[in-house]
C-alpha cells in the first residue's frame, strides 16, 4: 500500500539521520588545538618569540603525538616532534630541527600546553607555524592550528591619536548628557517647591479672607450679646 510504503521510507530516513548524528557526536566533542586568538604575530629580528599551542580532548589522551611544522613559500620542515605518555607526564621531545627551538609547555595538571619558543630570530623565520596533535585514544584523530610569524626590523608604534579623540568625544557626550539630566532634575525640584509654596500661600490667603468676613467656622471674634 502507498501509505505503508511512505511510512517505511520516513522511518528509514529518520533512522539514517539518527545514525549520522551518533557518528558525528564524538567528532564534535573530540580533539581541539588552539594557538590563541591572534592569527598573526610580529617579532623583531634578533629577539625571542613564544609560539603558543594548547590542546584539549573530552576523551583524555594516551601516547599522544605532537609536532610543529614550518612552511614558507619555498620551504617546509618539521621543527620539533614529540609524544606525551599520559595526562600525568610532561612532553618528551624525540626530534628537534633547530637548537634555537625550546619546548616551553607542560601537560601536567591539565595544562595541555605544547608551546615552543624560538630564539635569535632571523628574517628568514617569517612564515606559517602549525601545531599538530594526534591522539591514538581517538583512533589517531588529528587536529592542527596555524599561526603566522612576521619578523620585522622594528615594531611600528601604533598611533592612538584617533582613538583618543574618539574616546574624548564619547566621554564629553556622556558627560553632557549626565549634566543635562542633573539640570533637568534640579529644575523639576525647584518647580515642585515653588508650586508647594504657592499652594501654601493660597490656603493661608483663603483662611485670612474667612476671618475678615466673619464666616462660620472662622476665627473672627464673637460679638457680645446686646443687652435688652
Q: How many domains does the chain have?
A: 2
Shared domain check, 183 and 146: no
Extended beta strands in 163-210, E state: none
Shared domain check, 43 and 70: yes
Shared domain check, 146 and 166: no
Residue-wise pLDDT for 125-172, tens only, equals: 999 999 999 999 888 888 999 999 999 998 776 566 777 888 888 888
- Tell me how far apart the alpha carbons of residues 159 and 163 are, in angstroms, rounded to a whole number: 8
7 in a structural domain: no
Residue 208 is predicted with a pLDDT of: 55
**Cα→Cα distances 95→19, 121, 122, Å:** 41, 20, 22
Shared domain check, 169 and 143: no
Q: Grid coordinates standing for 134?
A: 594526534
121 in a structural domain: yes
Shared domain check, 166 and 76: no
Residue 195 is predicted with a pLDDT of: 79
122 in a structural domain: yes
Q: pTM above 0.85?
A: no
- Tell me how far apart the alpha carbons of residues 146 and 71 are, in angstroms, rounded to a whole number: 10
| pLDDT mean across residues, the chain | 80
HSE toward the beta carbon, residue 222, CA cutoff 13 A: 5
Residue 25 is predicted with a pLDDT of: 41
Shared domain check, 96 and 36: yes
Q: What are phi and psi of 141, to 5 degrees?
A: -65, 135
Shared domain check, 171 and 84: no
Q: Residue 123's pLDDT band (boundaries 50, 70, 90)?
A: very high
- Which run of H or E residues covers position 111? none
**Cα→Cα distances 9→4, 13, 16, 17, 22, Å:** 9, 6, 11, 12, 20
Range of the domain at 177: 162-189
178 in a structural domain: yes
Residue 223 is predicted with a pLDDT of: 52
Q: Residue 57's pLDDT band (boundaries 50, 70, 90)?
A: confident
Q: Grid coordinates standing for 63?
A: 601516547
Shared domain check, 95 and 33: yes
Shared domain check, 125 and 178: no
118 in a structural domain: yes
Shared domain check, 139 and 166: no
Amino acid at each position: 500500500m502507498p501509505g505503508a510504503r511512505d511510512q517505511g521510507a520516513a522511518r528509514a530516513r529518520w533512522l539514517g539521520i539518527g545514525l549520522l548524528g551518533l557518528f558525528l557526536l564524538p567528532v564534535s566533542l573530540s580533539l581541539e588545538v588552539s594557538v590563541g586568538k591572534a592569527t598573526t604575530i610580529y617579532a623583531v629580528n634578533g629577539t625571542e618569540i613564544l609560539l603558543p599551542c594548547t590542546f584539549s580532548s573530552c576523551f583524555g589522551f594516551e601516547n599522544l603525538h605532537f609536532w610543529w611544522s614550518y612552511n614558507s613559500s619555498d620551504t617546509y620542515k618539521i621543527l620539533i616532534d614529540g609524544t606525551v605518555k599520559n595526562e600525568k607526564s610532561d612532553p618528551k621531545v624525540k626530534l628537534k630541527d633547530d637548537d634555537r627551538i625550546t619546548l616551553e609547555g607542560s601537560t601536567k595538571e591539565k595544562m595541555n600546553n605544547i608551546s615552543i619558543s624560538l630564539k635569535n630570530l632571523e628574517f628568514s623565520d617569517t612564515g606559517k607555524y602549525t601545531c599538530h596533535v594526534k591522539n591514538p585514544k581517538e583512533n589517531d584523530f588529528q587536529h592542527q592550528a596555524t599561526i603566522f610569524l612576521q619578523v620585522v626590523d622594528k615594531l611600528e608604534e601604533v598611533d592612538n591619536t584617533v582613538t583618543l579623540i574618539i574616546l574624548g568625544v564619547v566621554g564629553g557626550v556622556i558627560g553632557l548628557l549626565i549634566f543635562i539630566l542633573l539640570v533637568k532634575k534640579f529644575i523639576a525640584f525647584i518647580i515642585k517647591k515653588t508650586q508647594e509654596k504657592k499652594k501654601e500661600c493660597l490656603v493661608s490667603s483663603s483662611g485670612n479672607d474667612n476671618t475678615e468676613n466673619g464666616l462660620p467656622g472662622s476665627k473672627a471674634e464673637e460679638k457680645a450679646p446686646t443687652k435688652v
